[in-house]
Structure 1
Amino acid sequence: MTDRALAIAANVETFVREVIVPYEKDERLGYHGPSDELVMELRAKAREAGVLTPHILADGSHLTQRETATVLTRSGLSPLGPLACNTAAPDEGNMYLLGKVGTPDQKARFLDPLVRGEARSAFFMTEPAEDGGAGSDPSMMQTACRLDGNHWIINGRKKFITGAEGARVGIVMAKSDDGACMFLVDLPDPAIRTVRILDTIDNSMPGGHAEIDIVDLRVPADQMLGASGEGFKYAQIRLSPARLSHCMRWRGLAIRANEIAIDYACRRYAFGKPLIDHEGVGFMLADNLIDLKQAETMIDWCASILDTGSLGTAESSMAKVAVSDALFRVADRCVQVMGGTGVSGDTIVEQAFREIRAFRIYDGPTEVHKWSLAKKIKRDWKAAQA
């Protein structure tokens, strides 16, 4: 690992542990995530500490994916760390996409406020299953767009849109006659209406997860991201690294949960000795170390592939499956080790369990990624027979 990444990561870790962790009981943490007031307060502290948006350098260039993994893992040591350091989803993935595809004017208008931590963003892709819309299969997209002079008109419904409430930048996916398209929009916009905020088991992301109606949204043609019909290609540019970024951040939280469980098991006595000296407990913590190390190795391997310039779709699918499942095992064991305390709000262990459980669903559930990998296995086999 590079010296610059290690130095940035060390600063981020110190900041998160010393400044951000005490905020984990703040009254501004609601059922649908932290308030925007709290987010901006935390970002002001990160700005002062020199750790705001640490994965993007002063000249606008990004750390490599391997370097980013080192930094984002440290930011994830608290559920609030990524929000404070501006490394959280969906902003981190949206910044990456805009940096790769956006025009200079689009970057100045939409990307720069995100990098400075002055605004939040939302990615409008997923649609309600009850309407037959796009979920894990984006080809089912129902949201439509049509050209009207020098504007595009967009109509449709979206669901599970993280952070839409309070966001200032939106990336909206819709389908034209050419295929999928992406549009940059200023938020709020009266044509983008929140139907409801869903109640979900996770609550670390500001604005929660919304169901959205889009009714006659007019977007200037120069706010299309890239070209008409290229939206699915751009989605892969965003989603492959974003899946890996989730792995990085939630590994940080799993590390912290494991630290708390270890401390509990070493201090708590039962039947005449510390819990950790009982094999049933000690072996669970040993399994945690194994899963955490395997997750780290998988992240590093996938990051190395992405750093070669390959999109690494198959690799990111493998990493997403392996890491999300491994981290959930870690979180589950931490709860089990701590018993009643593990399911209480006395520590962040129960939140880690909820957040990491949700991680196994979003950005593609485990089964969808395995299905995709199975298709690749079949294609490769056919190619080998030709």
Structure 2
Amino acid sequence: MTFHLFHINEIYSNADGAVQFIELVGDSDHQGFWTGHSLTSSDGTNTNTYSFTTDLPNQATNGKAVLVATQGFADLGIVTPDYIIPNGFLFTTNGTVNFPGLQGGPVSYAALSTVGSLVVGSGSTVNTPTPTNFAGITGSLFGNVISGTDGPDNLSGTAGSDGIQAGAANDTINGGTGDDTINGGAGIDTAVFSSALENYSVSGTTTTSSDLSFTVSGIDGNDTLFEMERLRFTDKNLALDLKDGQAANSSIRIIGAAFGPATIEEHPDYVGVGLNLFDSGQSMLNVSQLAVDVMGNLPNDDFVDTVYQNVVGTAPSVTDHDFFTGWLEDGVYTQAQLLEIAANTEINAISTGLEGYLLSGIAFV
């Protein structure tokens, strides 16, 4: 059983070392036992070491690529790495990469280009890196990769196709022209575009409630967005944080239940108020109370009839009216608590059209 009949095919790093990858390719089968072995990167003075704790998925390794990459690379969503190394693992100058028994020996380089990847076999740099993982999935890395910090950043792309990876905090990102891939990371992040919304198409793609990306196509190019909460156009804003528990989702639910589904699009200013409140840390109950106040602190009878009509789409039966009014009259719930319950129901999600907004965004001012 061996593990080492591999050669390094491609090495890449962006300027700050946040986005890096090493692609190794197998020269024989039955080379998948990697547990306990280490990959090293050195600049002659300092050495970074990554120890493998798992083997490859199988022993059919001949001609198979293994992708070892940083989390910054993984966050771009191009290709899933087989192993994650720390950001900055590779030295960008005077570097040497080694793996036990590496075919051809350690790979040394004077400098890594930050606009392309080093193809080790030819000793040349290609302008479009093509990382490939063990499953055979490959992709193209962008001509320019830009990384943010864990603080609030204002990031700008180039006229070409960029990969922009923001960090934590609330970031503002302008990809510029070109076909960009932008990951907002944690926080409330805003992508900025150069023209009015009518000059773009916005569409979401989802496979699960937690896996959602957006494509924005228009005069700035075709951009793919991950972990992006807001879009800013010259005439309108769109909120994309519409998954359960997120600010736009909660805002739409309360507006629909308190004022009716039509109000969501008729009053983008209401959506904006909701976003500001939730962004500032207000709870669903606190915002529900503010909505009750705006409704005019209706008598319990009128409150139940109004919310029921907004959520269900019909007036309540006498039995339903008396049941919910009884909760209020007996002090089981306050109006704000009952509004929160109604807002969070599945029927309210349907009546407000949340599923459609999830893939298109909702306008706000």
| Shared fold, TM over 0.5 | no
Max Rg structure: 2
Higher relative contact order (CA 8 A, sep 6+): 1
* Higher relative helix content: 1
